[in-house]
Chain A
Amino acid sequence: MLRATKYMDLTSSVLGLGARILFHLRDTKVLPLPELFERIVGEVGPSARYNFSHAASFLFLVGRLEYDERQDIVRLLEPEVN
């Protein structure tokens, strides 16, 4: 899923979409999940639909994203600096 293959489209890859998600949250820090989804799909195209959830999950796993199920929003978390 993460490892690049010869015919992987980097723009719609998990890492490519992850970078866009971080970019959109950089200023506001918080966005409704449906709005974030629409923004990314609007920029990249329908092919973003397939990997959007994988990209969001990846950012959650590395501790950069938090999802508030009650409000259906995602929040950007600052990286922990040791």
Chain B
Amino acid sequence: MTLNEAAKILGWPRSEVVIALTDGIRLPKSGTPQKLRGQRVRSDWDITDTELDDFIQAFEAEEPGRHSPVAVRRELLVEARHRCAVCRAVAPLQFHHILEFNKVKHHDPTHMLAVCGTCHDRIGLGEIDSKAQRIYKDQLARISSETHESRLVPSGGPLRFRWDDLREIFTTLGGALPHLPTTDITSSRYDFTYTDIETKNQLNALSADYFEVIERRYEPHFHRVESFLKDPVNREISELYFDVVDELRARIASRQTSYSSFDDILIELRVATQRNFPELNRRGTLVSLVLAFMYANCDIGRKSSC
């Protein structure tokens, strides 16, 4: 695993992991510096599960029950979809025992939760009792059974579409909007600024899960959408596309702060499209593709922190 991945598993900042790799971290009781083993690979590191487990085990030996092994942590992270099980924040996560470790004497993921530092503190203060913790745990199981992807990607086999399908979508959505004067310099037509996708995902709090869906499911089709928009034959339709983007930008800007992540915005947009344009219901996947294209090409979503 890379440095960032190890930081996720440990729930530590990246800088702390670098110190662990280079100088070592003092163990909580003995004060002995404990180094994390790993191989330097160019500007990153390659750390095996065993190396990370050895490192964690040294801490566990001094503080039994507080440092769960890598496999348990990974299972809990996946179960919580790498978000806090309570507040759903994308933050460094800690691993809480719903049943006290002294009772079970081992790290059993069925009785543990991945939570952020704030929620872990609230649990410690008794604000979230063990029954509530169990309810949060059950909710995670339900989310897993629905699978996140099924909410993001409507079912329906491989993604196939023709230019006529794109025409139908942009004509339907754009036709319902007032056409902005093309001289409006604030229009998305004339916005050529891009942000690298990693920064953009951070600015918009897009989850790694959703980005993976975008990359795997939709990105292979982006070039076809782009070719469609670039072909002069579709100039009028591409004008409608920009109208739709301008409208979405305005709506997203007014509400983005009330959403915890851009995943929710994209899901909400798809649902709203299907609700308001029932004629596009059979094009659900294509609508998702178009929204993902808009996001990935910096047409919608924050591109800077200001």
Q: Are B238 and A7 touching (Cβ within 8 A)? A: yes
Give the residues from 183 to 217 in chain B that come closer than 8 angstroms, CB to CB, to chain A: 188-192
A76, B229: Cα distance in complex, Å: 33
> How many residue pairs at the A-B interface have CB separations less than 8 Å?
34
A9, B241: Cα distance in complex, Å: 15
Q: Are B231 and A47 touching (Cβ within 8 A)? A: yes
A13, B182: Cα distance in complex, Å: 17
Give the residues from 42 to 73 in chain A that come closer than 8 angstroms, CB to CB, to chain B: 47, 50-51
Partner of B238 from A5, A12, A47 at Cβ < 8 Å = A5
User: B232 interface residue, CB < 8 Å from A?
Assistant: yes
Q: How far is the CB of B37 from chain A (nearest CB, A)?
A: 48
**Chain B contacts for A50, CB-based, 8 A:** 232-233, 235
Partner of A5 from B189, B226, B231, B233 at Cβ < 8 Å = B189
The B interface, classified by DSSP as helix, strand, loop or mixed, is helix
A54, B182: Cα distance in complex, Å: 18
Residue ID in chain A nearest B182 by CB atoms: A3
Q: How far is the CB of B49 from chain A (nearest CB, A)?
A: 44
Give the residues from 219 to 233 in chain B that come closer than 8 angstroms, CB to CB, to chain A: 226, 229-233
Residue ID in chain B nearest A5 by CB atoms: B189
User: B242 interface residue, CB < 8 Å from A?
Assistant: yes
Residue ID in chain A nearest B229 by CB atoms: A7
Interface centre among B188, B190, B230, B233 (most CB of A within 10 A): B230
Q: Are B232 and A51 touching (Cβ within 8 A)? A: yes
Q: How far is the CB of A50 from chain B (nearest CB, A)?
A: 4
Q: Are A12 and B232 touching (Cβ within 8 A)? A: yes
Interface string of A3-22 (1 = CB under 8 A from B): 11111110011000000000
A17, B29: Cα distance in complex, Å: 75
Which are the 5 A-B pairs with shortest beta-carbon distances? A7-B229, A50-B232, A9-B230, A5-B189, A51-B232
Beyond contacts A6-B299, A7-B238, A47-B231: 7 other A-B pairs, Cβ-Cβ < 8 A, are A4-B190, A5-B190, A5-B238, A6-B188, A12-B232, A50-B233, A51-B232
A residues touching B (Cβ–Cβ < 8 Å)? 3-9, 12-13, 47, 50-51
